[in-house]
Amino acid sequence: MQLVLVGIQGAGKSTQGNLLSEKYKIPYLSSGHVFREMAKEKTPLGRFLKETLNAGYLVPDDKTVDIVMEYLSKPEYKNGFILDGFPRTVPQAEAFQKFTKGEEITILIDVSDREALWRISGRVSDREDETLQAIRKRIDLFHEKTSQVLDYYAKRKHLASVDGEKSVEEVFAQIIEKIKQISSKN
């Protein structure tokens, strides 16, 4: 199974990704986590990623695709994966489709901007990229760029949406049901 979780920051992708990883016994990979770890490195790429993330911008497509594809080519991902935070643009989705051979399932965890901001403000974080300005910028970019990715997946009938404002357990149950529905069509 190749599962992609999509949603604005604070939608619960990480929570659901970890639960799904446990259920399906496949690894969970957050591109944001990968980028934040790389941003700690004292390299030109690390400094670039740190500045980009702290400003709330998206990492450019070419760098994002290279980094994520390098991770997904590791042996632990060959039997499937749960991916969070990628693809965020149509060019990324097109590059990803070549890698997955069109077999990925995409789940939108749909929450309002207000709900996402409320959740983020309520959690304890020492992340430099979680300033209010950076979070708002990422939410705006989600609506501007990632909504086009959702259209891309909807046309391919590989997209399902769940109500992310329900309880963790209810969202998880919705995702499992959507996976079953999409899998049965293939």
Domains of the chain, start order = 2-185 (3.40.50.300)
Mean pLDDT of 148-162: 88
Nearby residues of 131 by Cβ (< 8 Å), 6 or more positions away: 54, 56
Q: Which residue has the higher pLDDT, 168 or 130?
A: 168
| Residue pLDDT, tens place only, 92-149 | 999 998 888 878 899 999 999 989 888 887 666 666 667 778 788 888 888 888 889 9
Neighbours of 61 (CB within 10 A): 16
* pLDDT-derived band at 28, boundaries 50, 70, 90: very high
pLDDT at 186 over 70: no
What is the rounded CA–CA span in Å between residue 37 and residue 75?
20
Nearest partner of 119 among 5, 6, 4, 8, judged by Cα: 8
Cα-Cα-Cα-Cα dihedral of 162, 37, 25, 150, to 10°?
Answer: 30
For residues 53 and 31, the answer to whether their CB atoms sit within 8 Å is no
The predicted structure's pLDDT at residue 133: 80
| Residue pLDDT, tens place only, 47-71 | 999 999 888 888 999 999 999 999 9
pLDDT at 158 over 90: no
